[in-house]
């Protein structure tokens, strides 16, 4: 049985959307015609972006959401259904990125990164995936990483492990929801040209990575990654599920 998008399939929620890649994703989805919920643990920053996108609040709203809390996802879903009549796209983007050397990662630090990055992904897929499945339509896009495939170029072991887990969760939820009109895909970026990357990797090391580690000798463009999210979120993307789209400059090839 074919599942078709409702005529108003235009509401997207992006976690960790107040800054960085999440912000770019939210901006590109909004530019593509989506009503966008900027979900973030930092509400004021989310509100600032929402007002930039649409000062009237008609097509952009900020939601305080801690991805470690299932109830936060449930509350977000309820409020968006009340506001816009439904939700059709979830982008699981929120993540903690730490670079602690592997031998120095404490048990608590390891657990805390996994709780945000991996458990947060699970909870988002559970709550929104159940709703999408019940409606017979939905798109979930998970932000994985090159780090989850080969250990990455500068990532901490806890970050890389969480992103590897996201790749597997993507397949599991894709199988679970495939018969109900819901696709679940991952995007696995390599090093991206973002302020956070330049802030966390020393300039000399970053230049070395560009010159000697990335075969195409450039960092990834966050706008292209965001446009790939928009592509996978479209109603026409119904034949893509359980996939991980590699955008890594040729560092990792299957």
Residues 71-80: tens digit of each pLDDT: 999 999 999 9
Q: What percent of the chain has pLDDT over 70?
A: 97
The stretch 38-58 carries a mean pLDDT of 97
pLDDT at 2: 59
Secondary structure of the chain in HEC code, one letter for each residue: CCCCCCCCCCEEEEECCCCHHHHHHHHHHHHCCCEEEEEECCHHHHHHHHHHHCCCCCCEEEEECCCCCHHHHHHHHHHHHHHHCCCCEEEECCCCCCCCCHHHCCHHHHHHHHHHHHHHHHHHHHHHHHHHHHHCCEEEEEECCCHHHHCCCCCCHHHHHHHHHHHHHHHHHHHHHHHHCEEEEEEEECCECCHHHHHHCCHHHHHHHHHHHCCCCCCECHHHHHHHHHHHHCHHHCCCCCCEEEECCCCCCC
pLDDT at 7: 61
The stretch 32-53 carries a mean pLDDT of 98
pLDDT, the chain, mean: 95
pLDDT at 6: 64
pLDDT top residue among 196 and 7: 196
Neighbours of 154 (CB within 10 A): 17
11-191+229-245 topology per CATH: Rossmann fold (3.40.50)
**Do residues 15 and 124 touch, judged by C-beta distance below 8 A?**
yes
For residue 34, indicate whether it is catalytic.
no
Flag whether pLDDT at 201 surpasses 90.
no
pLDDT at 88: 98
Selecting among 159, 189, 209, 244, the annotated active-site residue is 159
Flag whether pLDDT at 196 surpasses 90.
no
**Do residues 87 and 81 touch, judged by C-beta distance below 8 A?**
yes
The stretch 14-32 carries a mean pLDDT of 98
Residues 126-170: tens digit of each pLDDT: 999 999 999 999 999 999 999 999 998 878 999 999 999 999 999
Q: Dihedral angle at the C-alpha atoms of 151, 23, 143, 73, nearest 10 degrees?
A: 130
Name the pTM for this structure: 0.96
Q: Where do the domains of the chain lie?
A: 11-191+229-245
Flag whether pLDDT at 64 surpasses 80.
yes
pLDDT at 1: 59
pLDDT at 154: 79
């Amino acid at each position: 049985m074919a599942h078709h998008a409702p005529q108003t399939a235009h509401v997207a929620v992006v976690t960790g959307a107040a800054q960085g890649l999440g912000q770019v994703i939210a901006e590109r989805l909004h530019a593509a015609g989506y009503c966008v919920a900027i979900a973030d643990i930092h509400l004021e920053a989310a509100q600032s972006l929402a007002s930039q996108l649409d000062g009237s609040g008609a097509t952009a709203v900020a939601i305080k959401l801690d991805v470690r809390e299932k109830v936060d996802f449930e509350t977000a879903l309820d409020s968006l259904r009340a506001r816009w009549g439904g939700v059709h796209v979830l982008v699981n983007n929120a993540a903690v990125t730490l670079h602690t050397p592997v031998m120095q990662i404490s048990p608590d630090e390891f657990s805390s990164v996994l709780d945000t990055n991996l458990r947060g992904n699970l909870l988002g897929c559970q709550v929104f995936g159940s709703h999408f499945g019940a409606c017979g339509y939905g798109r979930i896009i998970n932000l994985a990483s090159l780090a989850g495939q080969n250990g990455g170029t500068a990532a901490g072991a806890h970050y890389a492990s969480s992103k590897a887990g996201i790749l597997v969760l993507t397949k599991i939820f894709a199988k679970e929801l495939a018969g109900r009109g819901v696709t679940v895909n991952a995007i696995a970026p390599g090093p991206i040209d973002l302020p956070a990357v330049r802030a966390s990797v020393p300039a000399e090391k970053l230049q070395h990575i560009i010159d000697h580690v990335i075969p195409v000798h450039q960092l990834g463009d966050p706008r292209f990654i965001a446009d790939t999210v928009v592509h996978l979120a479209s109603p026409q993307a119904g034949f893509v599920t359980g996939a991980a789209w590699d955008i890594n400059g040729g560092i990792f090839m299957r």
